[in-house]
Amino acid sequence: MLLSLVLHTYSMRYVLPAAVMMGTAPTFVLAWGAWRLLSAVLPARFYREVDDRLYTIYQSMVLFFFENYTGVQVIIYGDLPKNKEHVIYLSNHQCTVDWIVADMLAIRQNALGHVRYVLKDGLKWLPLYGWYFSQHGGVYVKRSAKFNEKEMREKLRAQMKADTPMYLVIFPEGTRYNPEIPKVIADSQSFAEKEGLAILKHVLTPRVKATHVAIDTMKDYLDAVYDVTVAYEGTVDHKGQRKVAPSMTEFLCKECPRVHIFIDRIELKDIPEEQMYMRRWLHERFEIKDKLLIEFYDAKDSKRRNKFPGKSVHSKLSLKKTLPSLLFLGGLTASMLLTESGRKLYVKTWIYGTLIGCLWVSIKP
């Protein structure tokens, strides 16, 4: 009975945050949908400004749970500018929390509403979220030979035409680095060896297509590229072997005490334009990431482990930036669920919003 109580208490750590984040999704989609209809006759710029504000509200609520609720320490290294910029954000990829880490940095620049993702195509079928991410400026891409360069360029050009603030998040590895799936790591290393590239230990060989299309299409629009390396403390076992990075559920259960984020701001003039040369440049950037992660996980001196080299800042997110959004969305959702008509609208939003979203993403890129 005691064990069952402990397990129940443990599970409640993530049940409440998950219930609130998913439970407020229909409320958010209704608010966004109403604005989408009202702004149909207005210039695209007006729609984008309000959409970015709505997205900021929702993602601020998400960050309340992932930062304030969990109490995780966010440790930042390198050069994160204080001001907003048009940027491409390139990061290593190891778990779904990597999406949230991009938000963690963006909110510290007051650019949370500007975050847009390059996502694998299958995620567009997520109920409500998949459709909305596309509407917010996200780009869904297929891998390898199925990658549609023309569609991605067209979508990015449309964003620039509407003067959309850009904080475009790309994970060039194309899939997650997972120590429990050694075949993926081995295949990645074999490919690098075959192509005459350095073999990487703690990251996968990056793919250049999406990165090249994004930089090439927006080179006159961007201010910089952020090269971001993320490490989650507590992901090494007692034998010194790397473990799987925390899932969102594990993170919400407070299993990660600290997130370490290294940022290198790169000027566009320092990035080769031709895809062949950019591919080499991108791999070199991932070599730098790999060295940082080798130092973080494998340094012989134990005092140098679990941190990146250089100065760091323990960055705590103020409740003023997250709690109002939680109270606002939570209050709206609760008031809707208190009435019979509100409950019906809530359920219909889940059902019809999902169906309309799936239909939309099936016919539009």
For the stretch 263-278, pLDDT in tens is: 999 999 999 999 999 9
Residue 145 pLDDT more than 50?
Answer: yes
Pairing of strands 312-315, 73-78: antiparallel
Q: What is the pLDDT of residue 334?
A: 96
Q: What is the pLDDT of residue 11?
A: 63
Q: What is the pLDDT of residue 237?
A: 82
Calculate the average pLDDT of the chain: 92
pLDDT digits (tens, 9 = 90+) for 2-20: 445 444 455 678 888 999 9
For a pLDDT cut of 90, what percent of the chain falls above it? 78
Contact 205, 281 (CB under 8 A): no
DSSP for 241-283 reads: PBPPPPPHHHHHTT---EEEEEEEEE-GGGS-SSHHHHHHHHH
pLDDT digits (tens, 9 = 90+) for 313-347: 999 999 999 999 999 999 999 999 999 999 999 99
Q: What is the pLDDT of residue 147?
A: 86
Cα distance between residue 96 and residue 89, in whole Å? 16
Residue 185 pLDDT more than 50?
Answer: yes
pTM of the model: 0.93
Burial class (CB in 10 A: 0-12, 13-18, 19+), 1: exposed
Q: What is the dihedral of CA 26, 250, 262, 285, to 10 degrees?
A: -90
pLDDT digits (tens, 9 = 90+) for 295-313: 999 888 877 888 999 999 9
Q: What is the pLDDT of residue 238?
A: 77
Cα distance between residue 42 and residue 237, in whole Å? 55
Q: What is the pLDDT of residue 10?
A: 54
Amino acid at 267: E
The stretch 52-60 carries a mean pLDDT of 97
Q: What is the pLDDT of residue 5?
A: 45
Tokens 């669920």 belong to: 337
Q: What is the pLDDT of residue 80?
A: 86
The stretch 76-103 carries a mean pLDDT of 94
Q: What is the pLDDT of residue 365?
A: 59
Q: What is the pLDDT of residue 241?
A: 85
Residue 242 pLDDT more than 70?
Answer: yes
Q: What is the pLDDT of residue 96?
A: 94
Element (H, E) at 311: none
